[in-house]
Structure 1
């Protein structure tokens, strides 16, 4: 499997989603976070777009979103988030296990995702992910194996205040199992708002405990140490 090619294609798709302004319907607004959706072209479900402003620079925010030692401290939707294989300094495979949500009506899933970090002009960073087959981590009987079609975070400096970032998250997750689409559509918007709120809380915690000692290129050194 050509993981590098898949990673590049996924990044381009997420970039395309960020430039696509047609057909989105706002399904939830809460605490200055907006969730929109429309029918996915990848599977029989929705793609969600979640937008919010984060009080952190783009380089530091992007690391909060994917470095495992940060991610597990703030993302309450996850039980596990581990890098299991590296392809290069910007591309790696992660194993994630989610918590149950929607008051337990949606049980935990596990995912094997190819994650890629790419910087664009204007200090914009896209962290894209797409589920892949990885023989070392086959599906187990403990969890339903979900599938993430091209997803990702787009982090951009806020024009009026570059110390803040605009975060746009795209999610099109096939949870699989025997779930009614109506349950997913009812639960997903609130769950996605919580992810952004948890990221904001994570920023505060890191500031208070360590000054958020992140550096713009530290993802490269992190992966090389693995």
Structure 2
């Protein structure tokens, strides 16, 4: 499949995940953030869903989430060390490389991910990022990083009816970290990482308003 088809397929999958309420199990709830999981239908690991209401307009929140080189995301998201644009396919589809630092007290080594990303806007005012792993000739695996693989993942910034200063943020992660990691490490890392993601994002949004 070419990049455009892969990106649109990922967006279709994420929309399906956002609507399907079956099979989710709660794994973490803290500070207004809930994280659920269920077995992934795309690989042998889990699909994780995070949800919270963020005190910001969708467009304002999107400024912090936008996957772009030199954007705000690399400043507040501790799981994103570097973000590179590899190829722009269309105005709303691009191939990108994300570099992540070591995690879990060094048990998880630095990773890099190559994804096709589709930015999609819906009629209700929702803004979404939709991504899935791809290969690209300009971005082969590098010795200093373990190459990980994201399956359909992304974020939904959804307007809250009657609350223009608030946004429901849904986030979906289903990542094959690769390498030789104990299952217990992977399964404890994602819920912890996702709640930190929401906490750091909320702080970033507040600072942006100042």
Equivalent position SS for 1:60: helix
Q: Tell me the residue number matched to 1:118.
A: 120
Matched residue count? 208
Q: How does 1:179-198 map to 2 (within 5 A)?
A: 179-198=181-200
Determine which structure has the larger helix proportion and give its number: 1
Range with greater deviation from structure 2 (19-28 or 66-75): 66-75
Q: Tell me the residue number matched to 1:103.
A: 105
Deviation at 1:182, TM superposition (A): 1.2
| 1:67-105 CA distance string (max 9 Å, x none) | 332111111111111222111111111111111121221
Deviation at 1:172, TM superposition (A): 0.1
**Structure 1 gaps, min length 5:** 209-226
**Structure 2 gaps, min length 5:** none
Q: Tell me the residue number matched to 1:171.
A: 173
Range with greater deviation from structure 2 (77-86 or 134-143): 77-86
Equivalent position SS for 2:167: strand
Equivalent position SS for 1:104: coil
Deviation at 1:194, TM superposition (A): 0.6
Q: Tell me the residue number matched to 1:19.
A: 19
1:41 aligns to 2:29 (yes or no): no
- 1 CA distance for matches of 2:147 and 2:158? 32
Range with greater deviation from structure 2 (96-105 or 126-135): 96-105
In the superposition, the TM-score normalised over structure 2's length comes to 0.95
Q: Tell me the residue number matched to 1:151.
A: 153
Q: Tell me the residue number matched to 1:217.
A: none
- 1 CA distance for matches of 2:52 and 2:101? 23
Equivalent position SS for 1:200: helix
Equivalent position SS for 1:22: coil
- 2 CA distance for matches of 1:205 and 1:84? 30
- 2 CA distance for matches of 1:56 and 1:166? 9
Equivalent position SS for 2:181: coil
- 2 CA distance for matches of 1:63 and 1:206? 9
Q: Tell me the residue number matched to 1:216.
A: none
